[in-house]
Amino acid sequence: MPEKPKKQMRSHDEKIKIFHQELIPHINSIYAFLFKLIKDEEDAKDLVQETYMKAFRFIDSFETGTNAKAWLFKIAKNAFVNEYRRKSKEPLKIDYQEVEAIYNSDEADYKKTVDLRTEMLSNKIGDEVTIALNSLSVDFRVIVILCDVEGFTYKEMAKILDIPIGTVRSRLHRARQLLREKLKDYAESLGYNTDEKPSQEIEKSNTI
């Protein structure tokens, strides 16, 4: 079993340098991620502040040269989940066992998924897409944003969400199915063939 990386005891000046050079450049992405989840500007700003406060507090656990963006997104995700649970006062749980079983079976219909990393959805996100994305449950919304908007790999998403890679695959597969159902007419009106197998999903599966 590999050893966990040891904390690096840094001076205050070193922490400030890492904070500004490694973490601050991602602040807009963190805000956009949280805003898409919480759908409130002020609440998103509060969670960004909380994210960066925690990041600085635990900066000794950040390994220089690793993926700072993924490290921050994990902190942001945890901040959001804690806030979500505090407001809803109920656990954030979804049963994915059935979905995962279907996804890992030979009968999985990959043609029924849609990748948001197409020009239609990643560069020209319209009201229809925003409404459809916001209508998804929190867990599905998070996985779609991490993958199709932020471009994280399965391995990175598994670390951010603290779930197995198999669950990442099945959750993303189901989320894309739901989006496809909601966006089918919109996609076809723009000339996209929604029956095609998304190439990005195949490519991403090779990057884990």
Q: What is the pLDDT of residues 1-50, one digit of tens each?
A: 444 555 668 888 999 999 999 999 999 999 999 998 888 899 999 999 99
The arithmetic mean of pLDDT across residues 53-64, rounded, is 92
For residue 77, CA distances in Å to 50, 161, 178 come to: 11, 8, 22
Q: How long is the chain?
A: 208
Contacts of 172 (CB under 8 A, 6+ apart): 143, 144, 147, 157
Q: Which of 25-39, 72-86, 97-111 has the weakest average pLDDT? A: 97-111
pLDDT of residue 194: 58
Buried residues in 7-41 as b, exposed as e (16+ CB within 10 A): eeeeeeeebeebeeebbeebeeebbebbbbbbeee
Q: CA 142, 144, 146: angle at the middle one, nearest 5?
A: 65
Query: 155 and 162 in contact (C-beta within 8 Å)?
Result: no
Rounded average pLDDT over 189-199: 59
- Greater model confidence, 42 or 131: 42
Q: Which domains does the chain have, with CATH numbers?
A: 12-88 (1.10.1740.10), 97-205 (1.10.10.10)
Neighbours of 113 (CB within 10 A): 22
